[in-house]
Chain A
């Protein structure tokens, strides 16, 4: 489903990262980076909560707003019971919505907030997402200190928290339209190749977006996917070309942009996690839109709806993708 917005703007953003992201090519765009994965806390989970809290306090400081000025806070992360968001958002805003859509949390939160604001139900909203490499390793894969050799197709969960203030107050960057995606099942079941799992969802949402809006790829200066990685990116391009005759020239992937894949070998195929697309969008892309170096950008956040328990019960890994179009004005 595609929605068009008239008066939804991004007022400001804040990004906080972990140590790996700060060694990548976008390091100058981030507001703050931690050198330690514990962020001075006693456990990785508490570290992630601290990241969320800091992302919120930083955006409040930047926009000179108090905690009570915010109508709605929308938060999402990868932990069970979306714990980082629910603990981290405590005390901020008049209301809270917790969301889970795996790595596509970032764009989903923007779409929900934009719909509320465009309808005139609220005036402003903070969208915050977070992920932590170690907490998600513990949650979805092996213990953090366990050195299981990972294949080259595996992606690396990014560490950080990113927040964004949307409101009806005019600014340089407008949320112009958005497409909500649907759950896609292409019978994929390799948790070490998430690019392959999520590419079908990105294709589905992208094609739907072009159909609903009557647009073509050249209408955008840049099209980015969330975390397809090095190989998923190529699958997406090839599949679109062969089956829909769509050629993507101005396309990149946030997971690939966030890290220096040649130097940072641990990252393997690229970054992942809800914060991966958010870190790139809210820092680098937002900056380029603000300075009008880019005019119109389509962000497609992809998410693998992966449950380790159901995978062991021989179910497929489904995926979802949401798209949002940002425009410089």
Chain B
């Protein structure tokens, strides 16, 4: 049972959140990440003669590498605090979550520490990603959509 009197007073002292500013920052930083990704793809296509599909895979690997490196160097979390979901939603956020979990448990050793805790945050993304891929693949297969 909620105490209505208390809820009313507590609601009048809610911490103000700058939702519009945060969304704008996330939109801009996310957009900038997309721009950066496109630049990398174009560069790979033009300078190394790699096909567009393959370049996007390489681009993802480059992003993952730098997200992991910057997490390990200790400043990626500060960027996330400023740029918000623009860095969390792309693949960089996924890499960041795995890297930060592994860093956290490195003192507990490779088996009980890193191995068992690496997917602490990212585990759900992988599980539900695979499940969703399976379901949508099945729909496409049964529906005959190419």
Q: Footprint of B on A, CB under 8 Å? A: 42-43, 138, 142-149, 151-153, 186-187, 193, 196, 199-200, 230-232, 234-235, 238-239, 242-243, 266, 268-269
Q: Do A149 and B101 touch (CB < 8 A)?
A: no
Task: Write out the residue numbers on chain A whose beta carbons fall within 8 Å of the beta carbon of B79.
Answer: 147
Report yes or no: B77 in contact with A146, Cβ–Cβ below 8 A. Answer: yes
- Nearest-neighbor residue (CB-CB) of A193 within chain B: B15
Q: Are A187 and B1 in contact (CB under 8 A)?
A: yes
A269 to B15, CA, bound (A): 8
Chain A residues contacting B10 (CB-CB under 8 Å) are: 196, 199, 235
Contact with A along B92-103 (1 / 0, CB 8 A): 000011011101
Separation of A142 and B101 alpha carbons in the complex (Å): 8
Asked whether A238 and B77 contact (CB < 8 A) given A143-B121, A146-B100, A187-B2, the answer is: no
- How many residues belonging to B are interface residues under a CB distance threshold of 8 Å? 37
Q: Which of A43, A153, A187, A242 contacts B107 (CB 8 A)?
A: A43
Q: Check B15 against A145 for contact (C-beta < 8 Å).
A: no
Contact sample, A vs B, 14 pairs, CB 8 Å cutoff: A42-B107, A143-B104, A144-B100, A147-B79, A147-B81, A147-B96, A148-B80, A149-B84, A151-B15, A199-B10, A232-B13, A242-B5, A242-B9, A269-B15
Distance in angstroms from B10 CB to nearest chain A CB is 5
Contact status of A145 and B71, CB under 8 A, knowing A151-B17, A238-B9: yes
Contact check: which of A42, A146, A187, A193 meets B3 at CB < 8 Å?
Answer: A187
Q: Verify A145–B9 contact, CB threshold 8 A.
A: no
B17 engages A152 (CB within 8 Å): yes
| Pairwise interchain contact A234-B13, C-beta atoms closer than 8 A | yes
Which residues 10-24 in B have Cβ within 8 Å of A in the complex? 10, 12-17, 22
CA distance A239 to B3 in the complex (A): 12
Q: Which of B60-78 contact A (CB under 8 A)?
A: 71-72, 74, 76-78
